[in-house]
Amino acid sequence: MDTSLSIDHYLEELSSSAPTPGGGNVSAFCGTLATSLGLMVCNLTIGKKKYLDSEVEIKVIMRKLEKAGTDFLILSEDDNKAFNQVMEAFKLPKETEAQKSARAKKIEAATIAAGVVPYRVIYLCKSIIRLIMTIAEKGNQNSLSDAGVAVSLILTAAQGAYLNVLINCTAYKESAGAKDILDRSEGDIKEVKEKCREGLELIEKKLKENKAT
């Protein structure tokens, strides 16, 4: 997401016929939303007598989530830039065989590079899901549903990013670079899905067991 835009402007651009921002951008932005919700739960936990035992750990998590939120925003903007590089490659001349060859190489390189950005989104999701789950376990339990929404957003961010890895790299899977991105992404998305599934099941169970006080 371009942070210089208002939400209204962003949504207008997103729903237009312009190719950017698109799904890759939104996937990364979902990660930012997840970290923001995680930070909210942290802020609702710190200073509460009931959660003094976990306050130091929660403060450490806050700093990590703040960094991750910034990284997700950067990745959302990088996704737009990477796609624009692919479009520029397609505009290269193709009148001669030499031009066609050079253009094809540029397109391949730019497309594979565009697959790196969503892979980084998946990797970042993998690195913070455990932080969100620690918040769900040790943070303010009155905000447990908010932690659950954060988990759901992490899953959406990672799954959306994985789809963008596939669309960018599958056609060039014979390339060592593309194959590496595909292999890494497949392993990481499986881990994220499993951890998010476990996390959501745990949160749902805790919410169902919750009794009015």
- The pLDDT, as a whole number, for residue 213 is 44
39/13: higher pLDDT: 39
pLDDT at 83: 93
Report pLDDT for 112. Answer: 96
Q: Tell me the mean pLDDT in the region 104-115.
A: 96
> For residue 3, what pLDDT is reported?
57
Residue 58 lies in a domain: yes
With pLDDT > 90 as the criterion, what percentage of the chain qualifies? 87
- The answer as to whether 180 is a domain residue is yes
Is residue 126, in this structure, part of any structural domain at all?
A: yes
* Rounded average pLDDT over 3-23: 83
Mean pLDDT of the chain: 94
| Domain count across the chain | 1
Domain encompassing residue 111: 7-12+20-209
- Examine the pLDDT at 212 and tell me if it is beyond 70: no
- Give the domain CATH number at 165: 1.20.120.680
| Count of beta carbons in the 10 Å neighbourhood of residue 207 | 12
pLDDT of 210: 77
> In angstroms, how far is CA 111 from the centroid of its own chain?
19
77 within a domain of the structure (yes/no): yes
Confidence at 4, pLDDT banded by 50, 70, 90: low
Rounded average pLDDT over 149-158: 98
**pLDDT tops 70 at residue 115:** yes
Q: Is residue 1 part of a domain?
A: no
Structure tokens at 30: 């979902």
Lowest mean pLDDT among 2-6, 22-26, 35-39, 184-188: 2-6
Q: What is the pLDDT of residue 6?
A: 83
Across 129-147, average pLDDT: 96
The answer as to whether 183 is a domain residue is: yes
| Reported pTM | 0.91
Give me the DSSP letters along the chain: --TTS-HHHHHHHHTSSSSSS-HHHHHHHHHHHHHHHHHHHHHHHTT-GGGGGGHHHHHHHHHHHHHHHHHHHHHHHHHHHHHHHHHHHHTS--SSHHHHHHHHHHHHHHHHHHHHHHHHHHHHHHHHHHHHHHHHHHS-GGGHHHHHHHHHHHHHHHHHHHHHHHHHHGGGTTSHHHHHHHHHHHHHHHHHHHHHHHHHHHHHHHHHH----
Domain assignment of residue 2, yes or no: no
155-206: per-residue pLDDT in tens?
A: 999 999 999 999 999 999 999 999 999 999 999 999 999 999 999 999 999 9
